[in-house]
Structure 1
Amino acid sequence: MSGPPPSRAGESAAGFWRGWRGWPSRLAHVWRSSLQFRTVVITVALSALAVVVTGTYMSISIGNDLFQSRLNQVLVESKNAATAAQTIFDSADASGEASTISLLSSAKSAIIASSSSRLIAVYATPGATSTSTTVLSFASPELAAEGVITPELRAEVAADPGSSQQYWQSVSLATESGGSAPGIVVGSPLTIPGAGSFELYIGYNLAEAEQTLVFVQQTLWLGGLALVILIGLVAWLVVRLVVQPIRMAAETSERLAAGQLEVRIPEKGEDVIATLARSFNGMADSMQSQITQLAELSQVQQRFVSDVSHELRTPLTTIRLAGDVLYDQRDTFPAATGRTAELLHTQTERFELLLADLLEISRFDAGSAQLDTEPTNLVRLAEDALEQIRSLADAAGSDLRLVAPGGYFEADVDGRRIRRILRNLLGNAIEHGEGRPIVVSVDSDERSVALSVRDYGIGMSETDAERVFDRFWRADPSRKRTIGGTGLGLAISLEDAALHGGALEVWSRPGAGSCFRLTLPRERGGSIGGSPLPLEPDDAFGPAPAVAELRPPSAAPTGGGGGDRG
C-alpha cells in the first residue's frame, strides 16, 4: 500500500504550522474577551509562584537540616573513633615495627566499630622523624582517590598535632557502580608511641541522606503541582459561579440595547447576584415603561404634525388663490395696499414650503420615507442645480463654479432627494457667502461618490457647526434671512443622506467660510468607506493654487461668530 501523496502531507504540515503561529493571537483574544479565563490564569500563576517559593525554601531548609544533623552525628562518631584509637596506642607498649603494625590493626578495628564506617586513612604527618612512618600509612581506595583528601585539609590537621581538634570537609566519593555520591571526610591528629605523629581520616557516605532529600523534594513538588491544579479547578468553579450571572446580565443588556425590551434576568436565591438581577429587572421595567411612553408620545406628535399639515393645506390653498388674485392686481391698489399684497404673497409661499418640510420631516420620523433610485450622473445633476439657483446667486453677488476632475460619477440614488440636498446647501451658501464665490466639487472612487459645497463667508465656530443640522436652529437669531427658508432644510438634507446610507458633514471656521460634504455609496445598500473629497478644504488656512482667485482681498478672515444656518 502506498502512503498519502507528498503534496497533501506538505499541505497538512503547512496548515499545522499556520495554525500554530495563530495560537498567540487566539490566546490574546481569549485573554482580552474572557474574564473567567483571565481570572483563572492569574490565580494559577500566583499560586504556582507561591508554591515554588515555599517549596524552594522548604527544600533548602530540609536539605540543610539533614546535612547538619548528619554532620553532627559524623563528628561525634569520628571523635569517639579517634579517642578509642588513641587509647589503644597509649595503653600498649610497642617496641618494634611488627608490634606497631599489629597495634595499628587493632586500632583500625576499634575505629570501624566506633564510627560505623570502613573508609579510613592514616597518614604520617609530614616531617616525622621515624623511618617506619611510610610503612604504617594506609588508606581505603575511596579516600586514596585524587582530590578526596585535599592538601588544605591535611595542612589543617597537621598544624595541630597531639590535640583533640577535628577538621572536616564535604567531598564526592566514588561508588562501586562507577558513579559518585556526596560524603564528608573528618580528620583528627594521632600520636603513635615510638612512631611519631599521624593523621586519621574517616570518610562517611551521605548517599542515604541524599536519597531522603530527593524523596522529600519530589513529594514537595508533586504535592505543589497537585495543589496548583486543585486551586485552578476551584478558581474555575468559583469564577464560573460569579461570571455566569455577569455574562447573562451582559447578554441581556445587549438584547435590551437592540430593542428587545421584554427580556429579563432570571432571579434565583437571595444572594447579592439575585439582588443585582432584581435591581436590573426593575431598571429594565422602568426603561421599558418610559420608552413605551416616549414612543407613544412621539407617535402622537408625528400624527399631530402630519394631521395639522394636511388640514392646513385646504385653507392655505384658498388663501393662496386669494393672495394670487390680490398680487396680480397690486398695481391698481394704493401703495400701502400693494405692499401688503406682496407681503401676503411672499409669506404664503414660505408657509407652503414650511408645510411641505413639516410633512417630509414627519415621514422621516415615522420611518415611512422611501427611496426611488436610478443611475444618476451627479455632475449633470449639480449643473442643473446650479442653473436653477444662479439667479439668486447673481442677486447676492456670488459667482457659482463647478469643479469636476473626472471619474465615475454615476451612482444609484434618488435624484429628487439629491437635488433637494443641493438646493438646500447652495441656498445656505448664498445666504452666508457674503457675496463671495461658491465652489461645488464632485469626485468619486470605485465605492462612493462625493459632492461638496464651499463658500468663503463668515463661517461658524466649532460649537455652532455641531448644531447646524438641528431643526429650526439658528446661530444668530437676529440675522435676517435674505432668501427665506423654513429652518428645516439642513435637517431634511441630513435625513436624505442617511436614507441613502451616506453621510452629510460640515467643516467651518469663523472668517474662513464653510464646506458641506455629501458622500454617497455608488450602489444602493453599499457602504461608503472613505470619501473621495476632503472635508477640510485645501485653502482652509490660505488660498490653494487651484482656487486662489476665489478669495478676493476683502475675503480675509475678520473673526467673529457664525451666522444663522439651517
Structure 2
Amino acid sequence: MNPPRRTPSGRDSQGGRRPRPRGPWLGSLRTRLVVTFVLVTLTGSATATALAYREARTAILKRAQDSFQHNLHDRVTTIAPDIDLPPTERGLTELSERVSQSLDGAPLVISRYRELQGTSDTLADQSWITPQLREAVRMRGTMSFQRVTRHDIPYLAVGTPVTFADDGRASGLEIYAVASLRPEQDDTAALLTAVRDGVAPVVLVSALLALLSARAVLRPVRDLGRATRKLAEGDLSIRVTVKGRDELGNLAQDFNETADELQSSVTHLRDQEERARRFVADVSHELRTPLAAMTMVATVLEEDADQLPPDTARAARTVSAETAKLSRLVDDLMEMSRFDSGAARLALTDTDLAEAIRASLALRGWTDEVQVDLPDGVRAPLDRRRLDVIIANLVGNALRHGAPPVTLSLTTVGHTAVVTVADRGPGLSADALTHVFDRFYKADAARTRSEGSGLGTAISLENARLHGGTIEAANRRDGGAVFTLRLPLPATDAEARTP
C-alpha cells in the first residue's frame, strides 16, 4: 500500500495529522538558553577571577619584595659603617648576624668581601644565593633580587653592594639576605579559595536568572506555537494575546493579522465552494426532468431508425447516444454532489464478493472479455450498488483504454479483500498516475469527447472510501495498468471473542 500523500495543510491524504518531530531534551530552546547563560556567566567569572588573582598576587608579592628590600637597605646603611675594612671572616659573620637580627630573623644573611664570607647560619642552605644573583649585584652595582623555590616554598633573595657614604664608591662588601614568601603564598592561596568558592553561588544564581528569563521569553513562543497548531487543525478563531511592543509582541500581532486574513479567505472560499456545489446539484436536478423526456423520445427515434431515411436515421442514433452520455454525466454529477455534501449513505447487505463481481460483469456482457480468478466465500457487509459502480468503472476503463487480456482477481490479505483489475496495454503515464483519480481528468487530452465523463475513477474512489477502503493505480512491470481495490473484511466470531 502506498504511503499517504502529504498536503500543505500538514495533514496526510487520509486526513491524519502529520507527526511533529521531537528532539532530545538537551536540544530544547529553554535548555540552550540556560546553558548559554551559565556558560557566559562562568566564563566571565573565571576570567575576572583569573585577572583579579593575578593582580592581587602581583601586588602582594611586590609589596613584600619592596618592604624587604627597603628594610635591608636601611639595616645595611645603619650597620655597615661600623665594620672595619678590609674585614675579617669573623667580622663578616658578626655583620651577617646583626643584619639578620634586625630583619626579624631572616633565614639567612651572607656577607661577602672578595674571597671572604660570613653567614648568619652556617647550617642554612646557601644555594638560595644563586650565581646569577651574585653576578647581577657585582655587574650592576645596585640592589638586585631573585625569587627561588625550595621544597615548594617561595623565597626572596636580595643582594646589595655596600658603598662609602662620603663619595658613594663601592667598598667591595656585598650583603645578601633571604626572606620566606610563605605568608604571601598562603594569603594568595586563601584569596583564590575564597574567589573559587564564590563562583558556585554566582553560577547557581545565574542559572536561576536564566530559567526565569527563558520562561519569560518562551511563554509567548509556547502560546504562539499552541495557537499555530490549533490554526493548522482548523480552529480559525484562535488568536494570541499581544503583550509588549518588542519583537515577540510584533510577532504575535503578525500572527493575529495572518489568522484574520486566513479566516476571511477560508470563509470566502467555503462560501464559494458551497454555492458551486449547490449550483451543480440544482442544475443536475433540474436537468433530470427534461433529460428523461429527451431520453424517451431519443429511444423511440432509435427504435424506428430503420424506417427513416439514412441521414435521419444516423441523426436519430447520434441524438440517442449523446442523450445517454448527458444522462450519465448528470447522474455522475448528482452522485459527486452527494459525496461533497456528506449525504452519501451505504445500504449494507451481507455480500459474497465473487458473486457480486460476476453479476456486475454479466450485467454488462463482459463475462467472456475478462479473465477472472474469484474464489467463493469472501463475504463482507457491502453496498452492492456502489460495489457494482466500482467494478464497472475499473473494468470498463481497462477494456476501453488497455489491451487484452484483461484480468480480474480476488484475494484476501489479513482482514482486507483485494480486488485487482489489470490489462496489457501501454499503461499510465507519470502524469496520469498522479491525477487518475482527479475529477474530469482524462489521460488522453485528445479524448475530450469520449464516452466517459472523467468522473468514473473519482466516483469509484469515493465509493471505496465510503466502505473504509481505497483504490490504488500503478503500472505492471511487464506492461499495462493495474488498479487495486482494497476493502476491509469483518473479524470472524473467534477473533471477535479473542481479548
TM-score bracket relative to the smaller structure: 0.7 to 0.9
* Cross-structure match for 1:437: 405
Once the 2 structures are TM-superposed, how far is the Cα of residue 366 of structure 1 from its aligned partner?
Answer: 0.7
Which amino acid is 1:118 matched to?
A
* TM-superposition CA deviations, 1:390-422 (whole Å, max 9, x none): 63984xxxxx44578x9x976665554344333
- Counterpart among 416, 421, 431 of residue 390 in structure 2: 421
State yes or no: 1:300 paired with 2:284. Answer: no
Once the 2 structures are TM-superposed, how far is the Cα of residue 223 of structure 1 from its aligned partner?
Answer: 5.0
* Cross-structure match for 2:439: 471
* Cross-structure match for 1:369: 344
Please give the alpha-carbon distance, in whole angstroms, between the structure 2 residues aligned to 1:200 and 1:501: 108
State yes or no: 1:120 paired with 2:126. Answer: no
Count of matched residue pairs:
459
What residue ranges of structure 1 are gaps of 5+ in the alignment? 1-26, 174-180, 192-196, 395-399, 525-566
Please give the alpha-carbon distance, in whole angstroms, between the structure 1 residues aligned to 2:400 and 2:459: 18
Please give the alpha-carbon distance, in whole angstroms, between the structure 2 residues aligned to 1:182 and 1:273: 59
Once the 2 structures are TM-superposed, how far is the Cα of residue 55 of structure 1 from its aligned partner?
Answer: 3.0
CA contact (8 A) 1:85 1:107 kept: no
Once the 2 structures are TM-superposed, how far is the Cα of residue 523 of structure 1 from its aligned partner?
Answer: 5.5
CA contact (8 A) 2:97 2:119 kept: no
* TM-superposition CA deviations, 1:281-314 (whole Å, max 9, x none): 3443333333233323322322232233233333
* Cross-structure match for 2:96: 107
* Cross-structure match for 1:212: 187
Distance 1:204 1:415, change over 3 A: farther
Distance 1:270 1:120, change over 3 A: closer
Once the 2 structures are TM-superposed, how far is the Cα of residue 470 of structure 1 from its aligned partner?
Answer: 2.0
* Cross-structure match for 1:533: none
CA contact (8 A) 1:418 1:496 kept: yes
Which amino acid is 1:446 matched to?
G
* Cross-structure match for 1:505: 472
* Cross-structure match for 1:316: 291
Please give the alpha-carbon distance, in whole angstroms, between the structure 2 residues aligned to 1:416 and 1:140: 124
Once the 2 structures are TM-superposed, how far is the Cα of residue 162 of structure 1 from its aligned partner?
Answer: 6.9
CA contact (8 A) 1:119 1:140 kept: no
Q: TM-score under structure 1 normalisation?
A: 0.66
SS at match of 1:453: strand
Which amino acid is 1:209 matched to?
E
CA contact (8 A) 1:402 1:441 kept: yes
Distance 1:471 1:71, change over 3 A: same
State yes or no: 1:30 paired with 2:18. Answer: no
* TM-superposition CA deviations, 1:297-343 (whole Å, max 9, x none): 32232223223323333333333333333333333333333333333
The two structures, once aligned, show a CA RMSD in angstroms of 4.4
Please give the alpha-carbon distance, in whole angstroms, between the structure 1 residues aligned to 2:363 and 2:271: 42
* Cross-structure match for 1:332: 307
SS at match of 2:447: coil
Please give the alpha-carbon distance, in whole angstroms, between the structure 1 residues aligned to 2:212 and 2:448: 71
- Counterpart among 135, 141, 149 of residue 171 in structure 1: 149
Distance 1:514 1:157, change over 3 A: same
Once the 2 structures are TM-superposed, how far is the Cα of residue 361 of structure 1 from its aligned partner?
Answer: 0.6
Once the 2 structures are TM-superposed, how far is the Cα of residue 362 of structure 1 from its aligned partner?
Answer: 0.6
CA contact (8 A) 1:117 1:202 kept: no
SS at match of 1:213: helix
Q: Map 1:403-422; keep pairs closer than 5 Å.
A: 414-422=383-391
- Counterpart among 331, 348, 353 of residue 323 in structure 2: 348
CA contact (8 A) 1:377 1:410 kept: yes
Please give the alpha-carbon distance, in whole angstroms, between the structure 1 residues aligned to 2:303 and 2:96: 151
Once the 2 structures are TM-superposed, how far is the Cα of residue 227 of structure 1 from its aligned partner?
Answer: 4.4
* Cross-structure match for 1:457: 425
Distance 1:519 1:139, change over 3 A: farther
Distance 1:215 1:441, change over 3 A: farther
Q: Map 1:82-161; keep pairs closer than 5 Å.
A: 87=81, 89-90=83-84, 100=90, 104-105=93-94, 107-114=96-103, 116-120=104-108, 122=110, 139=121, 143-144=124-125, 149=127, 154-156=130-132
CA contact (8 A) 1:420 1:493 kept: yes
CA contact (8 A) 1:459 1:510 kept: no
Once the 2 structures are TM-superposed, how far is the Cα of residue 272 of structure 1 from its aligned partner?
Answer: 5.5
- The percent of aligned pairs where both chains have the same amino acid is 27
